[in-house]
Structure 1
Amino acid sequence: MTQEILVVGATGKTGRRVVRSLETRGVTVRKASRATGFDWNDTTTWKPFLEGADAAYLIAPEDPAAAAPFTDLATTAGVRRLVLLSGRGLDETPPALFEGMRAAEAALRASTATWTILRANNFHQNFSEEVWQAEVESGTLFLPVDDTPEPFVDVADIAETAALALTTDDHHAQTYNLSGPEPITFDTALAKISAATGRTTTLTRLAPDEYAQRLRAQGVPDEVATELNMLYAGMRAGVLATATTDLETLLGRPATSFDTYVAETWS
């Protein structure tokens, strides 16, 4: 078994759950975050976290140029196994979308380490942790979406899959597509949350230009607003609408349903 594992983004939505999942397996975890001195934009902070680690869980850096140098340094430092969280539908989206993820995937595939890529859907927890949380709690979610369903995936399932890939063999050069068990619309998702909380939360559907204007008014940079609009365009086109079975196959159980997430989070 791997002796010590580095988790990059250890305080983040997926990272902290990966830490928890590894620790329940008895693995020693090295936690990398800004709070512990790790900075994607400062290459001098990387080596102390990599030296002595046998494997690493990665999230893509915002700067695509950081991906290859980091993986090169990781393998030089002796990291034997790399597991990356990426995004589902990457091959069907415009090249300008998710440049950090594309660069990170390319870096893993070019590395000499054993590597695994986890491509995941939108998370259940986007409704309750950052992202859409404030609007959901205020009663109205504003998004450029339609009736195309989304098989939202639970972050705990992703973390469990990551822990599996980090600590067991037979996952080298594999790209897994992770989703929840069934696609549902945003209207349905909000109706389920409303039923659990007793507070009505509804969806207001925006045109892409309206959504971009709303983001800019909130201080979001133009390039981020453009990228998000490309993401939602892919969702409206059905790029992510079909549920996958990779998670169920890997974990040997059904993926966590949206109903289970709501009962555990909003009830």
Structure 2
Amino acid sequence: MSRPSVLVTGATGKTGRRVADRLIRLGHPVRQASRRGEQPFDWARPETWSAALRGIDAVYLCYFPDLAAPQASDVVEAFVDVARKTGVRRLVLLSGRGEAGAQRCEAIVAGSGLGYTIVRASWFTQNFTEGQLAQAVHDGLIALPAGQVAEPFVDVDDVADVAVAALADHRHDGRAYEVTGPRLLTFDQAAAEIAEATGREVRYLPVTAEQFHDGLVGQVGPEHARLLTDLCMEVFDGRNASLGDGVHQALDRQPVDFAEVCRRAVAAGTWQR
């Protein structure tokens, strides 16, 4: 039996590239879609969607910049409609745990009439190893408006494994997997574990929303800075301070611990770059 062909949106992102790599290793035909990739795809340009979806059986739906963005539900609804009309049979949505905007998009996917799986993820551990916070770790100071809230940091490789299982096997249809790590950590504790792994001083500094926003504007621009700040203020209120068992449900194994991801990052020289 032939393996389903899969469109991976956000194929250059944290989860997308991992999902694509795994599917390719499993022998699936994979179309990797991104704004500057071989298959042009842009969430802001609906005219790029149909060509990317042609001949596709399943879609890994990773919306950029975030499902918390004001326009996200309208864009996702329009994309799902195009996907249905082009013959797509299954959607796997990367969703955000505790986000109202993400919940609206989940409802759209669940009501699409297609096979679907929701992968509802907590804060990525790899936020500390890839992107802006990796530089903060390198500099020894992680400043976030998270107070002393606890998070069940999840390994992005676990997220990708769950998504791939759902894309490859219809037995996951209709499921919503809450994917988290195996324990809760405050950002203070996370910084301490990174410090222990690296052998360097790494501190967490709780800041106000205004301080966080002002520090981001010069890096990502005012619009994205506002989105990220609003998202932090929404989810860093303790609503996600609980563990989910989605990794175990989907994969029949335990999730990878935060400390293990840190050890791997040190071995790879991540924070030396």
Q: Return the TM-score normalized by structure 1.
A: 0.89
Which residue of the partner structure matches residue 140 of structure 2? 139
Q: CA deviation at 1:204?
A: 1.4
User: Is the CA contact 1:157–1:247 (under 8 Å) kept in the aligned structure 2?
Assistant: yes
User: Is the CA contact 2:90–2:116 (under 8 Å) kept in the aligned structure 1?
Assistant: yes
Whether 1:109 aligns to 2:110 is yes
Q: CA deviation at 1:192?
A: 1.6
Structure 2: distance between partners of 1:231 and 1:5: 30
Which residue of the partner structure matches residue 148 of structure 1? 149
Structure 2: distance between partners of 1:104 and 1:191: 35
Whether 1:32 aligns to 2:33 is yes
Q: How many percent identity over aligned positions? A: 38
Structure 2: distance between partners of 1:220 and 1:11: 21
What's the secondary structure of 1:6's corresponding residue?
strand
Per the alignment, do residues 196 and 174 of structure 1 end up closer, same or farther by CA in structure 2, a change over 3 Å counting?
same
Per the alignment, do residues 216 and 33 of structure 1 end up closer, same or farther by CA in structure 2, a change over 3 Å counting?
closer
What's the secondary structure of 1:14's corresponding residue?
helix
Q: CA deviation at 1:169?
A: 1.9
Whether 1:213 aligns to 2:222 is no
Q: CA deviation at 1:238?
A: 1.1
Structure 2: distance between partners of 1:12 and 1:218: 18
What's the secondary structure of 1:82's corresponding residue?
strand
Per the alignment, do residues 226 and 44 of structure 1 end up closer, same or farther by CA in structure 2, a change over 3 Å counting?
closer
Q: Return the TM-score normalized by structure 2.
A: 0.88
Structure 1: distance between partners of 2:125 and 2:64: 22
Which residue of the partner structure matches residue 96 of structure 1? none
| Unaligned segments of structure 2, at least 5 residues | 66-70, 268-273
Which residue of the partner structure matches residue 90 of structure 2? 81
What's the secondary structure of 1:170's corresponding residue?
helix
* Aligned residue pairs, count: 258
String of CA shifts for 1:193-222, please: whole Å, max 9, x gaps: 12222221111111222222222354531x
What's the secondary structure of 1:31's corresponding residue?
strand
> Counterparts in 2 of 1:137-216, with a 5 A limit?
137-216=138-217
Which residue of the partner structure matches residue 250 of structure 2? 250
Q: CA deviation at 1:112?
A: 1.9
203-212 vs 57-66, which moves further: 57-66
Q: CA deviation at 1:26?
A: 1.8
Per the alignment, do residues 60 and 103 of structure 1 end up closer, same or farther by CA in structure 2, a change over 3 Å counting?
farther
String of CA shifts for 1:54-77, please: whole Å, max 9, x gaps: 101011244423211211111111
Per the alignment, do residues 224 and 44 of structure 1 end up closer, same or farther by CA in structure 2, a change over 3 Å counting?
closer
User: Is the CA contact 1:143–1:211 (under 8 Å) kept in the aligned structure 2?
Assistant: yes
User: Is the CA contact 2:99–2:234 (under 8 Å) kept in the aligned structure 1?
Assistant: no
1:28 partner letter: P
User: Is the CA contact 2:154–2:181 (under 8 Å) kept in the aligned structure 1?
Assistant: yes
118-127 vs 226-235, which moves further: 226-235
User: Is the CA contact 1:181–1:243 (under 8 Å) kept in the aligned structure 2?
Assistant: yes
2:95 partner letter: S
Q: CA deviation at 1:106?
A: 3.3
2:51 partner letter: P
Structure 1: distance between partners of 2:33 and 2:207: 37
> Which residue of the other structure, out of 80, 89, 98, is the alignment partner of 1:71?
80
Which residue of the partner structure matches residue 266 of structure 2? 266
Per the alignment, do residues 53 and 217 of structure 1 end up closer, same or farther by CA in structure 2, a change over 3 Å counting?
closer
Per the alignment, do residues 193 and 109 of structure 1 end up closer, same or farther by CA in structure 2, a change over 3 Å counting?
same
Q: CA deviation at 1:163?
A: 0.6
| Unaligned segments of structure 1, at least 5 residues | 92-98
Structure 2: distance between partners of 1:229 and 1:13: 20
User: Is the CA contact 2:127–2:133 (under 8 Å) kept in the aligned structure 1?
Assistant: yes
Which residue of the partner structure matches residue 63 of structure 2? 60
- What root-mean-square deviation, in Å, do the aligned CA atoms of Structure 1 and Structure 2 show? 1.9
Structure 2: distance between partners of 1:111 and 1:75: 8
Whether 1:90 aligns to 2:99 is yes
Which residue of the partner structure matches residue 94 of structure 1? none
